[in-house]
């Protein structure tokens, strides 16, 4: 693999007689496509400023010791294994398909999709045994073969790059295995989803043999990433509660520790502040309303540090 174009160049100190290498964490990010924008957005939400010029394959953060390489997603696990990059943002599917010596450190919560087998809508699919002896077209032969081995199915796996959905229509394969988000692409090509092999999302991977200094930088980055992730799953709420029902209303609001309660200028009422998880938000709001809560305000959280 040609590493020369992206090998790191470290800035030196202003004093040439006392030059020191500035330790930077090297991260690989998809240069374009599904995960690029979300990865750059995450770094920005972590307070990391990155200038990404047109067609640049390497850049640096201005306020965090981070050097960024923009690569093909399929190449990222290899670069991390070889130590050219210390860490990378990449889809779980690529990590497991390439099977390189890297560690998955954190699931990032975006780029969610599923690797699924699909067949023609006119076919009667009666279970995984349907695939016995069939030809399956896919860009992910390793994952598909692993699934077939686990199910005890002997199928012919045909590896192709791109336009997998067309394979059954031109007689290349009986079925396909590809990543699905909404399913609209399958529908437009006369296919139906019949088996899910893997649920995937973007993950942070790292080289397992990093120095203590590099690990400390990863820990700092992870601290910020986790704070951003927690904020996306929670809402800050403020409400007015009658004191007669205050105990019941507080019992509905676990918050991070416990709700904050402040007296209002109007006698007999208190202001209650808390945090709600997105998954249980509406159920709790309905119960709060039934318990007499009024003037409920919902505010998004930018960062959440526990």
Where do the domains of the chain lie, and which CATH numbers do they carry? 20-111+202-231 (3.40.190.10), 113-200 (3.40.190.10), 234-300 (3.30.70.120)
Which range is least confidently modeled, 70-79, 96-105, 157-166?
157-166
CB 121 within 8 A of CB 189: no
Tens-place pLDDT, residues 125-182: 999 999 999 999 999 999 999 999 999 999 999 999 878 999 999 999 999 999 888 7
Task: Say which residues have a Cβ less than 8 Å from residue 154's Cβ, sequence separation at least 6.
Answer: 132, 133, 148
**Full-model pTM:** 0.79
Distance CA 284, CA 252 (A): 7
Triad 187, 191, 193: Cα angle to 5°: 95
Distance CA 261, CA 247 (A): 11
Alpha carbon 51 to chain centroid distance?
22
Determine the 3-state secondary structure of 66 from DSSP. Answer: strand
pLDDT of 16 reads 42
Q: Mean pLDDT throughout 24-32?
A: 95
pLDDT of 270 reads 94
* pLDDT over 80 (residue 257): no
Answer with the residue of higher pLDDT: 19 or 25. 25
* pLDDT over 90 (residue 272): yes
pLDDT of 233 reads 83
Task: Say which residues have a Cβ less than 8 Å from residue 292's Cβ, sequence separation at least 6.
Answer: 241, 242, 244, 245, 249
* pLDDT over 60 (residue 242): yes
Percent of the chain scored above 70 by pLDDT?
Answer: 91
Whole-Å CA distances, 275 to 230, 234, 242, 245, 269? 11, 6, 19, 19, 20
Task: Tell me the average pLDDT of the chain.
Answer: 89
Answer with the residue of higher pLDDT: 23 or 60. 60
Least Cα distance to 113 among 161, 183, 185, 43 occurs for 183
* Residues forming a β-bridge with 68: 27, 59
Scan for tokens 């979300």, then name that residue.
38
pLDDT of 30 reads 95
Distance CA 260, CA 146 (A): 52
* pLDDT over 50 (residue 288): yes
pLDDT of 223 reads 96
Alpha carbon 9 to chain centroid distance?
29
pLDDT of 111 reads 92
* pLDDT over 80 (residue 61): yes
* pLDDT over 80 (residue 256): no
Q: Mean pLDDT throughout 183-207?
A: 93
């Amino acid at each position: 693999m040609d590493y020369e174009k992206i090998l790191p160049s470290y800035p030196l100190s202003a004093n040439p007689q006392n030059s020191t290498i500035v330790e930077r964490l090297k991260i690989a990010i998809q240069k374009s496509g599904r995960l690029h924008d979300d990865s750059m957005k995450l770094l920005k939400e972590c307070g990391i400023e990155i200038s990404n010029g047109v067609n640049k394959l390497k850049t640096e953060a201005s306020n965090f010791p981070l050097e960024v390489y923009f690569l093909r997603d399929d190449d990222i696990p290899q670069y991390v294994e070889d130590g050219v990059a210390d860490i990378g943002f990449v889809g779980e599917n690529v990590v497991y398909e390439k099977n390189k010596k890297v560690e998955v450190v954190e699931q990032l919560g975006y780029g969610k999709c599923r690797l699924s087998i699909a067949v023609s809508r006119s076919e009667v699919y009666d279970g995984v045994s349907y695939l016995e002896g069939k030809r399956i077209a896919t860009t992910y032969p390793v994952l598909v073969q692993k699934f077939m081995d686990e199910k005890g199915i002997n199928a012919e796996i045909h590896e192709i790059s791109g336009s997998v959905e067309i394979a059954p229509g031109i007689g290349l394969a009986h079925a396909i295995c590809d990543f699905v988000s909404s399913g609209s692409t399958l529908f437009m090509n006369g296919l139906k989803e019949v088996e899910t092999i893997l649920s995937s999302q973007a993950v942070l991977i790292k080289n397992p043999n990093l120095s203590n200094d590099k690990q400390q930088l990863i820990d700092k980055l992870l601290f910020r990433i986790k704070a951003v992730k927690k904020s996306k799953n929670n809402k800050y709420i403020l409400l007015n509660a009658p004191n007669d029902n205050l105990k019941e209303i507080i019992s509905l609001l676990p918050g991070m520790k416990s709700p904050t309660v402040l007296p209002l200028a109007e006698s007999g009422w208190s202001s209650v502040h808390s945090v709600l998880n997105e998954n249980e938000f509406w159920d709790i709001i309905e119960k709060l309303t039934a318990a007499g809560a009024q003037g409920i305000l919902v505010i998004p959280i930018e960062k959440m540090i526990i």
